[in-house]
Chain A
């Protein structure tokens, strides 16, 4: 089964090709069935691979490569590998994707570009699965870009809306900025490490632990993750990406694509680990220095806080969830930044987050579908009108917030434990603050949406069809199940996902990074911490409940209370404004010096001149041709005519009709002939 792992991405690829060629000819939901067939196959195969890898007795990691290009002593390859990390992703990604696609049958019903949607969905699944099983940086980068492109397509799916088109552009370009760093990082690896294959690269790095390139490469690769996982400061695209259909937001911007950044860090973790003592960034003036690993943790923390704050002030239900996603990704980065112990925690949270965030988004989609609005201030009282949605929403809500025994409690707890374990008190407090905010804004969302008296849009709401509610239930249950994989008493997740440091303490060793193996230390349950986390979460819930669980709430009471602060947060800390003024207006579109203006000028002065020049040359050639024609060709033709006329005129003398002329001619000829004959004799 493991040898066939490469088939997993092929299945949705085939669906994609089929849908591109014949999609529009399929009636009704036919396109969806094609796509789901593909992803279902991938799911079954994926679970098979995951089972073989993760269930006892487990399996050694498998990797295969095929030579693509050879440049001197270096090679570029394509290949796949399956280790515990990849297997875990293969367990989650196709399953969640399939559920979301089933949900989409109901959500996208009647859309004129139905088949196109599913074509893109299939293409995305292909790219994401390819990313998961990539065994070298090049292939990962290719699939990285491909998922970015699919994200662009799907965000601006309803491109008639200008805001959607702009959001797609913003997402793609912002992530591109990060990708530049990533590409440079890849080049560093190629130049200094001599290879892009993970296994060989890590071996090379391990054999030269003091080199600076390792940390540099790690940092640069992390830039790519910043872009893709919407970390500070490239987080601005994700809220705007909510313009896309809700299932898209669920799949790409919650469960999978944004998780790719976390996966990248986990995958290339050896580079971070080896360079953990090497200072990579040095601001002497401010006295700040950090390693690549440090950088990851700090960025993660900043992100989780500002995102959490911004989530509090949103009125669009999807935006709350978007900021929540950014915040949770920050948590994952924070975990990874804690070192070898944090990898398992971060990855575990990624898996649980996929389930409950997808569930939250799909639930929100259900609500949006029923009320035809995204604005929470127009909803209310939906727990009675949409019981299924409400029930599942509650489950995943508790999962996100981290209430025992739901998913988030276990995974967030793992992270916090790890932070504390590394002795980072400041970060611990900030993380708990983030947890408080999470509980607060999620409860706010619940109150406004499901409790209270129904406001305008909610009045006529009714439950969504089964094709939409069943995936909700499966996801909700799934989140509980997955969560239970990581309890301290039975930490299967930890076993599976932890980072094996052994090969990197000694030099040499050829085993893949994350795999079978035990973590540095077994965790003993920290009960005190569990209580603290629970208290923080409950505190958030109660606080929000008090503020928002009132009848007839039309505007946010916090707005009155915190005025200026509220406004700053509402304006997203003026980040978008900053980027807009400095980059967009300043560099790109500036009429005097902007790049676009420059391009326009180049076009006018250079390209247009060339084109005009070509035109002039053509005209010139035709003028020369005309002159030739007039003075040479015409003269020749005329000359022929003149010659003919002259000949005719010559002959005309003898064609006078006068007999004497004829006689003279005939006799002259006769005389001449006779004389000639006479002389010849």
Chain B
């Protein structure tokens, strides 16, 4: 039998991405949405590393890119949570359904 190929990892990553997407679109809790974002970022990381291994093994870009993504994900998580805290102080809730100031 053949081993684990590229498409296995791609499929996994796709699935993970969609799960994260579903979380972003449907969770009420603001932190839950952030968690979904983290999932999506991880899924893309998997993709990057898989491509680095299977398509261009000699190039380092794949893994370096993934590392940078991780760093940025951290920064984003920090700022995002800070925003959630700030919003909580104003609206007294982290239920995104109640934070609907964008509408007219």
Contact yes or no, A663 B25, CB < 8 A: yes
Q: Does B90 contact A (CB under 8 A)?
A: no
Contact yes or no, A664 B102, CB < 8 A: no
Stretch at the interface among A36-44, A65-73, A492-500, A654-662: A654-662
**In the complex, which of the residues B21, B102, B104 contacts A658, with contact meaning CB atoms closer than 8 Å?**
B102
Give the CA-CA distance A658 to B102 in the complex, in Å. 7
Tell me the A653-681 residues at the B interface (CB within 8 Å): 655-660, 663-664, 667
Contact yes or no, A658 B96, CB < 8 A: yes
A656 proximity list for chain B (CB < 8 A): 100, 103
Q: Does B97 contact A (CB under 8 A)?
A: yes
* B98 (CB) vs chain A CBs: closest residue: A658
Q: B25, B99, B101, B104: which has the most chain A beta carbons within 10 Å?
A: B25
B33 proximity list for chain A (CB < 8 A): 660
Tell me the A485-517 residues at the B interface (CB within 8 Å): none
**In the complex, which of the residues A658, A663, A664, A667 contacts B100, with contact meaning CB atoms closer than 8 Å?**
A658
Contact yes or no, A658 B25, CB < 8 A: no
Distance in angstroms from B52 CB to nearest chain A CB is: 26
Q: B33, B101, B102: which has the most chain A beta carbons within 10 Å?
A: B102
**In the complex, which of the residues B25, B97, B103 contacts A664, with contact meaning CB atoms closer than 8 Å?**
B25
Contact yes or no, B96 A663, CB < 8 A: no
Contact yes or no, B100 A660, CB < 8 A: no
Contact yes or no, B103 A659, CB < 8 A: no
Distance in angstroms from B41 CB to nearest chain A CB is: 16
Q: Does B49 contact A (CB under 8 A)?
A: no
Give the CA-CA distance A657 to B103 in the complex, in Å. 4
Give the CA-CA distance A663 to B97 in the complex, in Å. 14
Contact yes or no, A660 B26, CB < 8 A: yes
Contact yes or no, A658 B97, CB < 8 A: yes
Distance in angstroms from A511 CB to nearest chain B CB is: 112
Mark B41-66 against chain A: 1 for CB-CB distance below 8 A, else 0. 00000000000000000000000000
Contact yes or no, A657 B25, CB < 8 A: no
Distance in angstroms from A660 CB to nearest chain B CB is: 6
**In the complex, which of the residues A657, A664, A667 contacts B101, with contact meaning CB atoms closer than 8 Å?**
A657
* B21 (CB) vs chain A CBs: closest residue: A667
Give the CA-CA distance A656 to B101 in the complex, in Å. 9
Q: Does B24 contact A (CB under 8 A)?
A: yes
Contact yes or no, B102 A657, CB < 8 A: yes
Mark B63-104 against chain A: 1 for CB-CB distance below 8 A, else 0. 000000000000000000000000000000000110111111
Tell me the B6-41 residues at the A interface (CB within 8 Å): 21, 24-26, 33
Using C-beta atoms within 8 Å of the partner chain, give the interface range for chain A.
under 10
Give the CA-CA distance A659 to B28 in the complex, in Å. 11
Distance in angstroms from B102 CB to nearest chain A CB is: 4
Contact yes or no, B100 A657, CB < 8 A: yes
* B26 (CB) vs chain A CBs: closest residue: A660
Distance in angstroms from B30 CB to nearest chain A CB is: 10
B96 proximity list for chain A (CB < 8 A): 658-660
Contact yes or no, A655 B103, CB < 8 A: yes
B26 proximity list for chain A (CB < 8 A): 660
Tell me the A561-581 residues at the B interface (CB within 8 Å): none
Contact yes or no, B24 A658, CB < 8 A: no
Give the CA-CA distance A655 to B102 in the complex, in Å. 9
Give the CA-CA distance A664 to B24 in the complex, in Å. 9
B25 proximity list for chain A (CB < 8 A): 660, 663-664, 667
* B25 (CB) vs chain A CBs: closest residue: A664
Tell me the A98-145 residues at the B interface (CB within 8 Å): none
B101 proximity list for chain A (CB < 8 A): 657
A664 proximity list for chain B (CB < 8 A): 25
Tell me the A628-661 residues at the B interface (CB within 8 Å): 655-660
Distance in angstroms from B80 CB to nearest chain A CB is: 13
B99 proximity list for chain A (CB < 8 A): 658
Distance in angstroms from A662 CB to nearest chain B CB is: 8
* A668 (CB) vs chain B CBs: closest residue: B25
Distance in angstroms from B35 CB to nearest chain A CB is: 14
* A657 (CB) vs chain B CBs: closest residue: B103
Give the CA-CA distance A259 to B53 in the complex, in Å. 145
Give the CA-CA distance A660 to B99 in the complex, in Å. 11
Give the CA-CA distance A659 to B25 in the complex, in Å. 9
Give the CA-CA distance A656 to B97 in the complex, in Å. 9
* B100 (CB) vs chain A CBs: closest residue: A657
Distance in angstroms from A295 CB to nearest chain B CB is: 109
Distance in angstroms from B93 CB to nearest chain A CB is: 13
* B103 (CB) vs chain A CBs: closest residue: A657
* A654 (CB) vs chain B CBs: closest residue: B103
B102 proximity list for chain A (CB < 8 A): 657-659
A659 proximity list for chain B (CB < 8 A): 96, 102
Interface set of B (CB-CB < 8 Å, partner A): 21, 24-26, 33, 96-97, 99-104
- A-B contact sample (9 more), CB < 8 A, given A660-B25, A660-B26, A660-B96: A655-B104, A656-B100, A657-B102, A657-B103, A657-B104, A658-B96, A658-B102, A659-B96, A660-B33
- CB pairs A–B below 8 angstroms (16 shown): A655-B103, A655-B104, A656-B100, A656-B103, A657-B100, A657-B101, A657-B102, A659-B96, A659-B102, A660-B24, A660-B26, A660-B33, A660-B96, A663-B24, A664-B25, A667-B21
